[in-house]
Structure 1
Amino acid sequence: MKNFKVAVIQMSSDFGLVKKNIEKAEKYIREAASKEAKLICLPEVFNTGIKFQGMNQHLDLIEKKDGYTLTKLKSLAKELKVHITCTLLLEVEKNICENTAILIDDEGNLIGTYAKTHPVGEERTLVRKGIEYPVFDTKLGKIGMTICYDACFPETSRILALNGAEIMITPAAWRGGHYFKEWWDLTLACRALDNLIYVIACNACGFTGNKEVYAGKSQVVNPLGQVLGTLGIEEETILYQDIHLDRVTIERNFNTVLIDRNIESYKKLTESIKGIENMEKLGGF
């Protein structure tokens, strides 16, 4: 499908109130489906909310693949004939959790998962890092996913592009302090232009479990790094945007940045930075 409408749901979540959060999300999903959206995106761990300080409080909120949230989303996708993406804290092996982006097709099938590769701060104590960047060939196009902080690392989106992705979906729970709002905007535009790819970024709004403010500003960016549509910081609503995948083909045929790479000169990228090899012990922000 070369052209379709995406619905980006920017919503707040009450920490730990899973059924309440899912009921809210369901209303938005049904509204988006009624507006003929074919792809519906939800924020990072929308079902539980997040406490950035006190991640151990998430232990009782980790779900299995046959758990309540995923079962509900698969049912909605099948009923409404839409694709749905979000992230969940999933138990992938006994006592092992990953912050997992999921992709459900319009028949209610779980067709793809991606484990967050760059957990941040206390999140590192809760989840296992992913190490792969899968791309899923769907009815809508070739889709790859990153989660929140992953987008800060240009290697993530570059690997997705090299693996054939036309769209990068980024569910997030990106906070609004310091310079983070500006960082969010610049990061998404750069990832799109660097890789001549659509970026669909779905952020939370409202407050974290620690009463910090989310940055909001969910947006869709085209392969030229141009923002096609965006929401405000506090808006709890849906952003609708038409996606035209021919644009990816056109730009990649014109701009040769992906084939002009001098890969022999990039070996340094896989080395640790001298002096801060134990960076993970610092805790992050």
Structure 2
Amino acid sequence: MLKIGAVAAGFTRDLEFDLSRVEALIRHGRREEIQLLVLPDAALGGYLTDLNEPDLDDLPPALDPDDPLIAKVIAMAGEMVVCFGFCEAAGPYRYNTALCVTGDGVLGKHRKVHQPRGEQAIYAAGNEFAAFDTPVGRIGMMIDYDKTFPEAARALSLDGADLIACLCAWPTSITNRAPRMNEDRQSRLFDLYDRSRAAENQVVLVSSNLTGSIGSMRFLGQSKVVGPGGDIVARTWSKAGIATAEVDVHAEIDNARRVLHHLDERRPEAY
């Protein structure tokens, strides 16, 4: 059995505050014997203030992957597998980046490929989806808008990922915000994409998300663990917390693929 935690929490421009929050979440996860902890996108430095007109004077701080703050998160992880997001500095470019680490170092890295309007003016786009081996299984990562595109999760599954970690900074609708968060169209889409990507590929999907607000952005939370049949096995709703589930990953995937094996039954020549 693998104990998984999907985090819903808020993060800010204050990197020391963010680091202390990450430390508290990892410490809590260790007490709960969580083996895979997935933090949201932008866990170090927060997300953009707006997607229509991002405030260029209030951008997330860009960190080099060798930055001492990154090294501190790696050290905090210890034996736990921890995924977290930050704004990566790479020469003249910024990337919306996720790292997967243990105390031994970086296991995998993903630069967000698909960008909504607003991000394109700030971040360069990544160009690949690749799974990687970890102490808890083979993992692939996506960053929020990536999961809107079925090809992203499919590419990771074809690369052998049994677990997909989707790190999000997913807000309520910016064009037609509902008065109640659970009625917002983005709330429905967020859950729909999580469940669909898991069921399409018959994998375990771990979806984390920001909570709270920054600028005009109000984040949904709704972190969750989804089984390979598209069933939500743990979730946080809109408040901060950790959705925790114990999953026998290989047994659940084998059971889901026992009769219908979607990856084997594809017909790429017809697409």
TM-score calculated relative to the size of structure 2: 0.90
Task: Give the aligned residue type for 1:66.
Answer: D
Check whether the contact 2:130–2:155 (CA below 8 A) recurs between aligned residues: no
Determine the C-alpha separation between the residues in 2 that align with 1:44 and 1:85.
Answer: 9
CA distance 1:251–1:55, shift in 2 (3 Å)? farther
Matched position secondary structure for 1:254: coil
Query: Which residue is equivalent to 2:237?
Result: 232
Q: What is the count of residue pairs matched by the alignment?
A: 257
Does 2:246 align with 1:261?
no
State which of 195, 216, 221 in structure 2 corresponds to 1:216: 221
CA contact (8 A) 1:135 1:160 kept: yes
- Quote how far apart the aligned CAs of 1:56 are: 2.7
Other-structure match for 1:23: 20
Inter-partner Cα distance in structure 1 for 2:248 and 2:39? 21
Query: Which deviations, in whole Å up to 9, do the C-alpha atoms of 1:30-76 show, x marking residues without a partner?
Result: 01111111111111112211223425346571000111431111110
Q: Retained in 2: the 8 A contact 1:157–1:168?
A: yes
Report how far residue 143 of structure 1 moved.
0.3
Query: What are the ranges of 5 or more consecutive residues in structure 2 without an aligned counterpart?
Result: 178-184
User: Unaligned 5+ residue runs, structure 1?
Assistant: 267-285
SS at 1:87's partner residue? strand
- Determine the C-alpha separation between the residues in 1 that align with 2:233 and 2:9: 20
Q: Within 2, Cα distance between the matches of 1:10 and 1:240?
A: 11
Q: Does residue 101 of structure 1 match 2:113?
A: no
Q: Which amino acid aligns with 1:192?
A: A
Native 8 Å contact 1:118 1:149 kept in 2: yes
What is the aligned counterpart of 1:47 among 44, 57, 62? 44
Range that drifts further, 134-143 or 245-254: 245-254
2:56 equivalent in structure 1: 56
- 1:172 and 1:236 mapped to 2: Cα distance? 14
Amino acid at match of 1:17: D
TM-score between the two structures when normalised by the length of structure 1: 0.86
Please state if 1:154 is matched with 2:153.
Answer: no
Query: Quick one: distance in 2 between partners of 1:149 and 1:42?
Result: 16
Contact kept, 8 Å, 1:55 with 1:122, in 2: the verdict is no
Structure 1 runs of 4+ aligned residues shifted over 3 Å read 57-60
Secondary structure of residue in 2 paired with 1:253: coil
For 2:34, the equivalent position in structure 1 comes to: 37
The structure whose residues are more often strand, as a share, is 2
Equivalent runs, 1:99-248 vs 2, <5 Å: 99-105=96-102, 107-177=103-173, 178=177, 179-207=185-213, 209-233=214-238, 235-245=239-249, 246-248=251-253
